[in-house]
Structure 1
Amino acid sequence: MKPVRLPAAATLALPRWALFALGLLYILPGLIGRDPWKDDTDAGSFGIMWTMAHGNLHDWLLPNIAGLPAVNEGPLAFWLGALCIKLFGWLLGDVLAARVSTIGIFVVGTLSLWYTAFHLGRRPDAQPLRLAFGGQPEPDDYGRTLADTAVLIYLGCLGLLLHSHETLAVTLQGSLLAYFLYRAVRYVETQSMRNAVLVGLSLGALVLTRSPLTPIVLVLALFLCTRFLNIPAGPTARHLALASGIGFAIALLWIVPAMLLHPYGQSPVRAWLAYNATQLGLPSWHSITGFLRVGTWFFWPAWPFAGWAIWAWRRQQKLLHIVLPLSFVAALTLLIVSGPQPENGDLLKLLPPLALMAAFGLPTMKRGAINAIDWFSVMVLTTLGALVWLFWIAKLTGWPAQLAHNALKLVPGFTPEFGPVAFVVAAATSIGWIVLVHWRLSRQPSVLWRAVVLSSSGLILLWVLLMTLFLPDLNYSKSYASVAQQIAAKLPPDANCIDTDVGPAQRASFAYFGHLPFAGVTGGQCDYLLLQDSVKSKGGDHGVAAHRMQGWTLLWEGRRPSDRVERYRLYQRTR
């Protein structure tokens, strides 16, 4: 017997304007007005895009950050960001223009997940039990409700929130995984040449985004899934071979020119393949425990709903909405724990199938459990939102004194200012949250998505508050703009090039904010040297000795005001 019994009233559609508004509130804050932060994944990825947009063909074939090669990932995400800089940089500025690609990536992933859940929800094996006197939902209505629920769960996941606002290859990989999931569902429903070709397009894009490992695992998982569903093996093998061939052909769009032109005398494809070969091995206790430790919060709240869905539908046989996403989750988890040191961002590719399964688990939950989720969301998220507002008031007014001290001690030297636009956006979002909570408490709606609209909206509320009320603080704390400008002011206008040992994020930030002429990929004889060390280190000129150079004069020394440890020194060669 099917585990779902629902009346038609439970599948009333979430208003389209509300879903679009949540999507905009989710993705735009954190993109507008935010500097590239000090994380290598954020500022470093932007640096690759910026270098491509202002460089030559070799920079497009050999991803690099102002001369520092970065060939561990494929170039597709950086191509998209660089193309957006080319198209919109004159209007929006290079940073925001690069993030136009981030918006597009988010839209692709969200729409792909919505349509995947919609198609699966309309299938006869996913429909609720027919009620004795009628009144059960129509297939399209049920599918639409499940699709809305899947998107809301997806937006409510903590891991997506942390990474979807950064210009990363792993972000594109997660969205492409959602698109591959949609194409796989369409292929299983109709084993046609056209659907096989579209599967191949998603595979090729995945190869160019990160590595060939994930596409290979996905093809194998899809084939095993079709065998479990008793789909004929011969045609399926031919179709998946065609899809794999198309994916390989798409990958050649970068591989062939890179191998023929040998940009900057290097072989980016060989380095890319060599790095990815080191990411495959046997699962270790370290990787498994790391995956479980990070995944517990990264996949929240999708994983409890997804686990319940597997349990609730366990008595049904060969259900596509369980078998397909579960196959992908199992295969991708095995791939992730087989790496020597799993990256947090790589877990994004598990979110679409988990959110999909979670959407099918929610209709099987008891009303009491759903109400408990509602009350938890209302109490916890409202309290956290009020605390954010209280800290903001404290940092501006100095009251309460302890909160003001705690808010400002992380950004020494920062002077808070009132931002009218940020205040209006934060206040409007907070009022919207209050209206939503009032609607839930006063009307006691029976709609299925009520349990996740509060948790997702509350998380969006907190994100909007942080990215408006505290964005200047975060930029001050995490941006290298001020350091870059200090270095540029000390550098003579005729400086030829700078050799350096700084990391990817610093190099990208200094090149963008200060227009520092770093040495290119091929290197060169530079008259200036920029070193990074710690104020706690002894023997301050150890970096100069490490470069085996003599006769250097210190031009400048400084650091970010919010960082008490990091230190940078600019030297000039003594002529």
Structure 2
Amino acid sequence: MLTYVPPAEREVSVVPSQKPWLLVLLCVLWLLPGLVGHDPWKPAELETAAVVKRFVQDGYWVLPRFADVAYLEFAPLYYWSAAVLAWPLSRLGMDIHDAGRLATGLWMALAMWGIGLAGRELYGRRQGRVAVVVLIGSVGLVIWGHQLAPQVLLVAAFSWHAFALAHSTRRPVLAGLALGLAWLVLLLGASWAEFLLALASALLLPIFKPWRRAVFLAAFVTALVVSLPIAAVWALWLHQFSTAAFDAWWRFDALGPFGGFAHLRWFHRFGFLIATVPWFTWPALPLAIWGIWANRRQWREPGIALPALMAGLTLVWLACAGEVRDYSLLPLLVPLALLATASIDALQRGAAAALNWFGMMTFGIGALVLWLAWFALHTGMPPQLLQRIEALNPDHVPSVAVPGLIFAAILSVVWWGVLARKRPLGRLAVTNWACGVTLFWGVLIGLWQPWLDETKSYREVATGLAAAWGERSGCLDVSSTPQAMVVSLDYFTELKLRRYDGRPCRWQLHQGLALPDESVLWQGARRGDDARERFYLLAK
């Protein structure tokens, strides 16, 4: 039963004793791989690294920007947090992108903490850890939980949003402060669209009896008092700093996937959600559906009502948005993980065994393939596999990253030990799945990070162009260059770039193949890229 009672009166569920430090260890092993040791990668890290570099070097923190343009797709909170870490660490010799990426680890740790507290509040002791395990086991979170990118704020904010709403009927002031801070993260780190989604879920909660109380109203008002005035400070600061930038943000970017207040965008292309939601939210989605069905008679109770309302509103919000990408689904993971927690111990034996077996086979075979491919790359055996790998990056020179090799080996051994632990079958399935995700990601980064760095980083191209530029003066016209290359030049070099500035530049950078009559001063590309991904420098 999910009948709500205060935590002090709840009975301890019959679950075998589990050591909390093992959950902490799993979270650390999930978090660490990929946070440091590689260049900014496409598609999201390049812009963030360039913005953070501008903050660290220029000292103007109100307007996110790179090259000669503003970058207002997200509000600046994540860039501020990354710059706060990067400013001192870069002076100690750490790369700005590595230092800034540590902010992602901190925000993800906050997200795990928040959803763990929300699960404990809604379902009782020892249930919060299930919510954490389901969250980090979600396939779509693996990349975005390790990227130098502001999207991670969405997971942290909605995790604490869920906790605050669950807590609001008992301690309104504390819940109101937590709720206000979660909303402030959305206003200062994402857009008004995500804030309005969170606000709508809070406004509709009084439909259910547990929130139809004066204490919830007190928490709601406290949250508004905390979030809105502080968020307005940045908007006023931006307006004072650059009226043009503020107008552009307000008109085109303030509502995120819905555009801006002057140019609303509705209803993206059909089929995106159908194709993306199942794999991005796996296995949280099927477990959440089972949680709703198994507790359908308690649908008015907090453990079902709150996350189901959040999930339903998020799906409607996504369906109506004018522009969505895979990271737009990140707010959906939080309520799905909570719904999955609702009945994980009552999961049917056949379904739990199937999920457990599927996870062990998928990630076990995946990790084995990564090890075999790495062995082939460094020993030449088998030659057929080596040829396939070299075709993807023919210029790669194999080198062994000893710390990564040791980490991958230890993780592989630990994974086998985890599989042998005994626990209820439902918890066994989700824990083994999360451990499998951690294994695959850890082995991928530990063994293949140098290889991935060569195929995803523009460092060599940017520094090669800077070396060919030499002592030339003037600006470089990059108006016809893809944004990824523009951002890389801004981050890795000190070239004076012109993109939207109307002033002419003698030097121009283009992508593709040069015409026969053009005088090419330099050309280059990332390793493994074809002719269409090549860049060349012209003098006009």
1:251, distance to aligned residue in structure 2 (A): 1.3
1:373, distance to aligned residue in structure 2 (A): 2.3
Residues 188 and 540 (structure 1), Cα distance of their counterparts in 2 relative to 1, 3 Å cut? farther
- Kept in 1, the 8 Å contact 2:298–2:304? The answer is no
1:227, distance to aligned residue in structure 2 (A): 2.3
1:481, distance to aligned residue in structure 2 (A): 0.9
Deviations 1:451-489 (A, max 9, x none): 211111111111111101111111111111110111011
Residue aligned with 2:151, SS: helix
1:13, distance to aligned residue in structure 2 (A): 4.3
TM-score normalised over the length of structure 2 = 0.90
- Kept in 1, the 8 Å contact 2:39–2:97? The answer is yes
- Give 1:416-455 correspondences, 5 Å limit: 416-437=398-419, 439-440=420-421, 444-446=422-424, 449-455=427-433
- Kept in 2, the 8 Å contact 1:148–1:449? The answer is no
Residue aligned with 2:522, SS: strand
Residues 265 and 170 (structure 1), Cα distance of their counterparts in 2 relative to 1, 3 Å cut? closer
1:45, distance to aligned residue in structure 2 (A): 1.7
Deviations 1:358-382 (A, max 9, x none): 1113112123332232222222322
Deviations 1:87-136 (A, max 9, x none): 322232211111111111111101001111111122xxxxxxxxxxxxxx
Counterpart of 2:147 (choices 127, 151, 166) is 166
Higher RCO (C-alpha under 8 Å, 6+ residues apart): 1
Could you tell me how far apart the structure 2 residues matched to 1:519 and 1:84 are? 29
Residue aligned with 1:188, SS: coil
Counterpart of 1:116 (choices 115, 118, 121) is 118
- Kept in 1, the 8 Å contact 2:50–2:491? The answer is yes
Residues 429 and 235 (structure 1), Cα distance of their counterparts in 2 relative to 1, 3 Å cut? closer
Correspondence for 2:203 = 223
- Give 1:175-254 correspondences, 5 Å limit: 175-190=156-171, 192-229=172-209, 231-232=211-212, 236-237=216-217, 239-254=219-234
Correspondence for 1:101 = 103
Could you tell me how far apart the structure 2 residues matched to 1:394 and 1:324 are? 51
- Kept in 2, the 8 Å contact 1:9–1:446? The answer is no
1:495 aligns with 2:473: yes
Larger of the two Rg values belongs to structure: 1
Deviations 1:186-240 (A, max 9, x none): 11344x2443243222212211112112222222222212222253366655653
- Give 1:125-164 correspondences, 5 Å limit: 143-144=125-126, 146-164=127-145
- Kept in 2, the 8 Å contact 1:495–1:527? The answer is no
Deviations 1:34-58 (A, max 9, x none): 211132x12112211112221232x
Gaps of 5+ in 2: 4-10
Correspondence for 2:67 = 66
Correspondence for 1:545 = none
Could you tell me how far apart the structure 1 residues matched to 2:241 and 2:41 are? 33
Could you tell me how far apart the structure 1 residues matched to 2:456 and 2:217 are? 50
1:11 aligns with 2:29: no
Correspondence for 1:546 = none
Residue aligned with 1:61, SS: coil
Q: Percent identity?
A: 25
Residues 110 and 279 (structure 1), Cα distance of their counterparts in 2 relative to 1, 3 Å cut? farther
- Kept in 2, the 8 Å contact 1:211–1:276? The answer is no
- More divergent stretch after superposition (351-360 vs 25-34): 25-34
Deviations 1:275-316 (A, max 9, x none): 3348855546x34x2112100100000001100000000112
Residue aligned with 1:414, SS: coil
Correspondence for 2:338 = 356
Gaps of 5+ in 1: 123-142, 542-551
1:322 aligns with 2:326: no
- Give 1:365-380 correspondences, 5 Å limit: 365-380=347-362
Correspondence for 1:558 = 524
- Counterpart AA for 1:243: A
Residues 390 and 230 (structure 1), Cα distance of their counterparts in 2 relative to 1, 3 Å cut? closer
Residues 101 and 13 (structure 1), Cα distance of their counterparts in 2 relative to 1, 3 Å cut? farther
Deviations 1:324-359 (A, max 9, x none): 011111111111111123111111111111111111
1:32 aligns with 2:36: yes
- Kept in 2, the 8 Å contact 1:363–1:448? The answer is yes
Residues 279 and 364 (structure 1), Cα distance of their counterparts in 2 relative to 1, 3 Å cut? farther
Residues 238 and 373 (structure 1), Cα distance of their counterparts in 2 relative to 1, 3 Å cut? closer
Deviations 1:245-296 (A, max 9, x none): 4322121121011112227876454343373348855546x34x21121001
Residues 265 and 446 (structure 1), Cα distance of their counterparts in 2 relative to 1, 3 Å cut? closer
- Kept in 1, the 8 Å contact 2:250–2:260? The answer is no
1:570 aligns with 2:537: yes
- Kept in 2, the 8 Å contact 1:51–1:64? The answer is yes
- Counterpart AA for 1:45: T
Correspondence for 1:305 = 287
1:483 aligns with 2:464: no
Could you tell me how far apart the structure 2 residues matched to 1:264 and 1:311 are? 51
- Kept in 2, the 8 Å contact 1:264–1:521? The answer is no
Residues 278 and 430 (structure 1), Cα distance of their counterparts in 2 relative to 1, 3 Å cut? farther
Correspondence for 1:46 = 49
1:72, distance to aligned residue in structure 2 (A): 2.2
Could you tell me how far apart the structure 2 residues matched to 1:44 and 1:518 are? 15
Could you tell me how far apart the structure 2 residues matched to 1:344 and 1:512 are? 26
- Kept in 1, the 8 Å contact 2:2–2:123? The answer is no
- Give 1:474-553 correspondences, 5 Å limit: 474-493=452-471, 495-501=473-479, 502-519=481-498, 524-531=503-510, 533-535=511-513, 539=515
- Kept in 1, the 8 Å contact 2:173–2:218? The answer is no
- Kept in 1, the 8 Å contact 2:394–2:527? The answer is yes
Correspondence for 1:126 = none
Could you tell me how far apart the structure 2 residues matched to 1:553 and 1:394 are? 42
Could you tell me how far apart the structure 1 residues matched to 2:508 and 2:396 are? 29
- Kept in 2, the 8 Å contact 1:154–1:302? The answer is yes
- Counterpart AA for 1:210: A
Could you tell me how far apart the structure 1 residues matched to 2:203 and 2:304 are? 15
- Kept in 2, the 8 Å contact 1:280–1:338? The answer is no
- Kept in 2, the 8 Å contact 1:554–1:571? The answer is yes
1:10, distance to aligned residue in structure 2 (A): 5.3
Could you tell me how far apart the structure 1 residues matched to 2:263 and 2:390 are? 41
- Counterpart AA for 1:485: T
Correspondence for 1:130 = none
TM-score normalised over the length of structure 1 = 0.85
Correspondence for 2:6 = none
Equivalent pairs counted in the alignment come to 526
- Counterpart AA for 1:150: A
1:62, distance to aligned residue in structure 2 (A): 2.1
Correspondence for 1:134 = none
Correspondence for 1:549 = none
Residues 264 and 527 (structure 1), Cα distance of their counterparts in 2 relative to 1, 3 Å cut? farther
- Kept in 2, the 8 Å contact 1:214–1:332? The answer is no
Could you tell me how far apart the structure 2 residues matched to 1:325 and 1:295 are? 17
Residues 220 and 571 (structure 1), Cα distance of their counterparts in 2 relative to 1, 3 Å cut? same
Correspondence for 1:77 = 78
Deviations 1:515-552 (A, max 9, x none): 32324886655443222x223xx8578xxxxxxxxxx9
Counterpart of 2:260 (choices 268, 276, 280) is 276
Residues 38 and 367 (structure 1), Cα distance of their counterparts in 2 relative to 1, 3 Å cut? closer
1:446, distance to aligned residue in structure 2 (A): 3.4
